[in-house]
Amino acid sequence: MPVLWLFTDFLRAPDPMPAIARLPPGLSGVVLRHDEAPERAALALRVAKLCRARRLGLVVAGDARLAARLRAGLHLRGGRRLLGGRLAGLVTSSAHNVPEILAARRAGAKILFISPAFATASHPGGRALGAVRWRLLARRAGPCFAYALGGISGQKVKELAGFCYGVGAIHALEAGISS
């Protein structure tokens, strides 16, 4: 399973292709959000083609039919299961609290992006979990793998050692992989 996931963000980075092209092959994946994109399906086809060519994982957020069409995995929001489309790939989910973790586990998620781990520009003024609370939630993730999302940097990930199987990020990966 990829350990490094780029979360696309239409408002902050309308064209995700350059960031996807920089991801390390075999170790990385893409969570395609881009819900607001006017041509989301066409973009999704281009993203899927690039991910296959570069050996990157791909999950589509919130659209089981599109995920099935692309033969990609599905990303659930808060563990909420979606109807439609036969899933051919990995199921991931965001989780912000224990009820969402339990819902994601019931929905068959294998990876939980527990967030926001740290303060993030994506949600200015939002309350971050911090390392201690993030680790407490990560303990509840099993049998899913806990990944950190929000305010990710190399130094911050070290604070989650022992519980963190990987990370998801927007800004850290849009600008290039940070240390």
Query: Residue 158: in which H helix or E strand, if any?
Result: helix 154-158
Looking up tokens 């939630």 gives 137
Cα separation, 122 vs 150, in Å, equals 8
Residue 128 CB-half CA count within 13 A = 18
Cβ atoms of 59 and 79 closer than 8 Å: no
Question: Tokens in use for 162?
Answer: 């022992």
pLDDT digits 0-9 by tens, 60-83 = 998 998 999 999 999 999 888 776
In the predicted model, what is the mean pLDDT of residues 124-137?
Answer: 90
* Res 178 pLDDT > 60: no
> Could you read off the pLDDT of 34-58 as tens digits, one per residue?
988 889 999 999 999 999 999 999 9
The structure's pTM equals 0.91
Question: Coil, strand, or helix at residue 11?
Answer: coil
Cα–Cα distance, 170 to 105 (Å, whole number) = 24
Cis peptide before 18 (omega within 30 of 0): no
* Each residue's pLDDT tens digit, 80-117: 877 655 566 899 999 999 999 999 999 999 999 999 99
- Residue 176 structure tokens: 């290039």
List the one residue out of 156, 153, 109, 155 whose CA is nearest residue 134.
Answer: 156
Residue 25 pLDDT exceeds 80? yes
Is 3.20.20.70 the CATH number for 4-174?
Answer: yes
